Structure 1
Amino acid sequence: MTAPPAPADDGRERLARAALTRVFEPGDERGGRWLREAGPVELMRRLTGAEGAARTLKGMTAARLAGYRLRASGADPVRDLADVAAAGGRFVCPGDREWPSQLDDLGDARPIGLWVRGRSDLRLWALRSVALVGARACTPYGAHMAATLAAGLAERGWVVVSGAAFGVDGAAHRGALAAGGATMAVLACGVDVAYPRGHAELIGRIVEQGLVMGELPPSEHPTRSRFILRNRVIAALTRGTVVVEAEYRSGSLVTARNAQRLGRFAMGVPGPATSGLSAGVHELLRGEGVLVTDAAEICELVGEIGDLAPARTGPVLPRDLLDAASARVLDALPGTGSLGGRDVARNAGVSTDETLGRLYELHSLGFVEREGDRWRLTPGRTRDGDARRGGT
C-alpha cells in the first residue's frame, strides 16, 4: 500500500480524519477503502452532502449511509482536537513525521489516525517495541511473569506495549515502569477516559512516563468489539507479541494471530498443563508460536543480529570433568562397602595397573578413600562428586 501524502497545510485533511474517527468504527475496511480512494476531505464531503454523492462509493447502501450520516452529523473535529490538546495530547495522522509506518501493513484496516497523550515520539518508540498481553483474571504466576518479562525488556532498551487492562496488561506496564523503562498503552476508548477506572492512576503514570494512544476520539467509551479491534493495532505496532496466560477464547490470542498474519513474531509463555489459563497459550505454541521464558529469549527473536540469549545448560558437576577411563573406574565402585583393586579393575574392564593409577587420581580429587588394600566412595559425597543431601 502506498503511503498517503502529508496532511494539507491548511489542516483540512487533519480535521476530516479527526471527524472520520467518529464516523467509522476502528478497523472498518470498507471505510478504509473509501478513504484511500477518495481522500479524507472528499469522503467527509460525500458523507455529509447530498445523498447521491455518497452513493457513488462502492458498496454503499441506503441503510449503511443512514448510519454513517447520523454519526457524521454529530462530528465536531475542532472540539475534539481542542479537547485532546487540553488533556496534553495530539492527533497523529498518516503522513505525519510521528506516524509509525508499520501500521500501514494493516492495509485498509489501518487506523484513520491515532489520538495520543504523552511527550515521547510515537514513531521512534514503536521502532523498538514488544507487546505483552494476556488474561485479565491472571494467576499470581502470570502476573509475576508479565512483570518480570517487562522489566527485563525495559532494562534492555525495549518499549513494552499493552492494553492497560487488569491482569497481565497491568502487570506488564508496572514491570516496565518499575524498571525505569518505557511503556505504551493502546486503549479501546478515548485517551482522556481512564478505563478500567481501577487503573486511572496507572494510566496517568503511563501518560507521564510513556505514551497512551487509541483510535477513538475523546470521551468515547469502550465496547467488546472495540477491544478486539484494538488488538490489531498492538500487533502491527510492535515487532512481536508475547502471550502470558490465555484461555482458548481470548483476545490475547487474537493479537498473536494478527501478529503472525502481519509477519511479526508470536510468542507464548508456558504454564501448568492443568491450568485453563494456559490452554490457549499452549495451543499457540503447538502451532507457529515460539516458546519464551525470559526477556533474553524474546530479544533474541525480535532484536538485531547478535542479540543472542545465553546458552541454557545444567550445573557442571565435578564428575563432568573426569576423563572416560576415570569415570569408568569410579562407576565400578559399589554405592556402599569397599572393593579391592583387582575387583575394581574387573568391574571397570581396565587393567589393574591403570585402575590403581586412576584410583589415586580419584582419591586426590576427593571422590574415593583407601582402606588398607580396599577402596570405597568417600562418605558424604555422591558419585557425581557433590555433597550428599541429608547427611551420609
Structure 2
Amino acid sequence: MDHAEDLLARVFLTRVLEPGDEAGGRWVRERGAPAVVRRLRSAGSAGQPLPGVSGKRWAGLRSRAERADPHRDLAVAREAGVRFVSPGTAEWPRQLDDLGDARPLGLWVRGPADLRMWALRSVAVVGARACTPYGAHMAATLSAGLAERGWVVVSGGAYGIDGAAHRGALGSGGATVAVLACGVDRPYPRGHTGLITRIAEQGLVIGELPPGEHPTQSRFIVRNRVIAGLTRGTVVVEAAHRSGSLVTVRAARRLGRHTMGVPGPATSGLSAGVHELLRQDAVLVTDADEVVELVGGMGELAPERRGPVLPRDLLEPAARRVLAALPGRGAASPDEVARGAQTTPDDAVARLYELRALGYVERHGDGWKLTRQAVIPAER
C-alpha cells in the first residue's frame, strides 16, 4: 500500500469517524483506509453502507466526509507545529495495537520528542479533577520521582490530579505527555493553556482528533483507552466511585497493564474509588520506587521499608533480652531479671552492668530499673 495514500486516507477518516469507533476500525483493518474513504465518497449504489452501521448513521458519516479535507488539515497542523503519526510508521507506539479495532487511526503529535521511544518507558498518573491538596501533593511528588528515574509521565492535561502530575514531572526536568480529547492545536481546558504549551515545548501533546476539534464528554471517555494502552501501567491518585479516571484503570486491566492506586483517608469520598480498586486487584503504591518496582525491569526494586533504628536495636541479643526483662516501672532484683531473660543470675548481673555503662539501666539498692533513655517511644 502506498504510504502517502494511506496517510491521507487516515487523516481524512479522523474527520469522519469518532475516536474508538470499532466498526470503522474493522473496516480499515479489513479493507484498508483508502478503500473506506472511496466508499464514503462514492455516489449511488457504490456508496451503500458498510457492514455494522444503520443507513441513518451511514448518512451522517457521508455528510461528514463531504466536508473532510485532509490536505487542509495537514497544512493547518504544520503551521501549528503538529505532525500526524500513523500505524506502521517508525514513530508509532506499537503497544497501541493491543486496542484492536478501537486502535486510533493515527495520532496528531505536537512536540519534539519521539513518541514511540518515550512510550516504551511510560506510566500513566490520573485521578480526580476536584482533588484535595493531599491528592495534588501525592500526584506531583510521585510524578517527579518517576521523572527523576527516567520514566515518562502520561496524563490527560485536565485540572486536578492530571495537572499536578504534569507539573511534577516538568518541575524535576523530566518528560511528560498530555493526551487530549480535542485538537492538539487548541489546548483544553483553557486555564491550562500555559501548562499544555510548556508540555509541547518540553514533552509531547497528542490526540486523535484533527486540528480545531473540540472536546465532548464521550471523547474524554474514549481518550482514556489511549492513556491506558500507551503506558506500562496506570496509577490512580484520588477517584470517587464514578470518576472518569476509573475508566482508564479498567482499560489498563483489560489490556493486561499494571494497575495501581495511592490510598487516601478512609473517610474521603475522593478516595473511595481508589480503595475499591485496591480491594480488587490493583496494587497499593505510595511513591515512585514502588511504581517502578512493578512496571520496571528485573532488579528495579523499591528499598526495604523499615522504621527508625533505635539505640537498643544495636545491642547484642543477650543484652536485649536482659533489658526486655526489666519492668517498665519500678525495680527488679537480679534473680527476677534472670528468670525473665531465661539466663543465670550471674549472667544477668554481668549484662546489667554492661547496660548501666551504656546508660540504659541504673542500680537502686539491691534492684535494677530502666533509665529514661531506655524507655521506647511506645511505652511513653
**TMscore range, shorter length:** over 0.9
Is the 2:49–2:58 contact (alpha carbons within 8 Å) kept by the matching residues of 1? no
Moved over 4 A (4+): 346-349, 386-389
Which one of 18, 35, 44 corresponds to residue 42 of structure 1? 35
Instruction: Tell me the residue number matched to 1:17.
Output: 10
Instruction: Tell me the residue number matched to 2:151.
Output: 158
Tell me by how many angstroms 1:197 deviates.
0.3
Instruction: Tell me the residue number matched to 2:50.
Output: 57
Check 1:165–1:329 CA distance in 2 against 1; reply closer, same or farther (3 A cut).
same
1:381 aligns with 2:358: no
Instruction: Tell me the residue number matched to 1:112.
Output: 105
Check 1:35–1:54 CA distance in 2 against 1; reply closer, same or farther (3 A cut).
farther
Is the 1:381–1:388 contact (alpha carbons within 8 Å) kept by the matching residues of 2? no
| TM-score of the pair, normalised by structure 2 | 0.96
Is the 1:239–1:265 contact (alpha carbons within 8 Å) kept by the matching residues of 2? yes
The amino acid that maps onto 1:281 is V
Which one of 190, 199, 205 corresponds to residue 206 of structure 1? 199
Instruction: Tell me the residue number matched to 1:239.
Output: 232
1:337 aligns with 2:360: no
Identity %: 68
Is the 1:54–1:65 contact (alpha carbons within 8 Å) kept by the matching residues of 2? no
| TM-score of the pair, normalised by structure 1 | 0.93
Is the 1:21–1:216 contact (alpha carbons within 8 Å) kept by the matching residues of 2? yes
Note the aligned Cα RMSD (angstroms): 1.7
SS in 2 for 1:339: coil
Deviations 1:266-301 (A, max 9, x none): 100000010000000001111111110000000001
The amino acid that maps onto 2:41 is T
The amino acid that maps onto 1:288 is D
Q: Report how many residues are paired.
A: 380
Separation in 1, partners of 2:317, 2:179 = 59
Deviations 1:121-145 (A, max 9, x none): 1111111110000000000000000
Is the 2:80–2:185 contact (alpha carbons within 8 Å) kept by the matching residues of 1? yes
Instruction: Tell me the residue number matched to 2:124.
Output: 131
Tell me by how many angstroms 1:365 deviates.
2.3
Instruction: Tell me the residue number matched to 2:242.
Output: 249
Check 1:128–1:387 CA distance in 2 against 1; reply closer, same or farther (3 A cut).
closer
Q: Mean Cα displacement is larger for which, 312-321 or 60-69?
A: 312-321
The amino acid that maps onto 2:251 is N
SS in 1 for 2:186: coil
Deviations 1:145-190 (A, max 9, x none): 0000110000000010000000000000000000000000000000
Instruction: Tell me the residue number matched to 2:261.
Output: 268
Separation in 2, partners of 1:264, 1:248 = 21
Is the 1:186–1:212 contact (alpha carbons within 8 Å) kept by the matching residues of 2? yes
SS in 1 for 2:350: helix
Check 1:347–1:149 CA distance in 2 against 1; reply closer, same or farther (3 A cut).
closer
Deviations 1:293-328 (A, max 9, x none): 000000001111110000011122222333444333
Query: Runs of 5+ in structure 1 lacking a partner?
Result: none
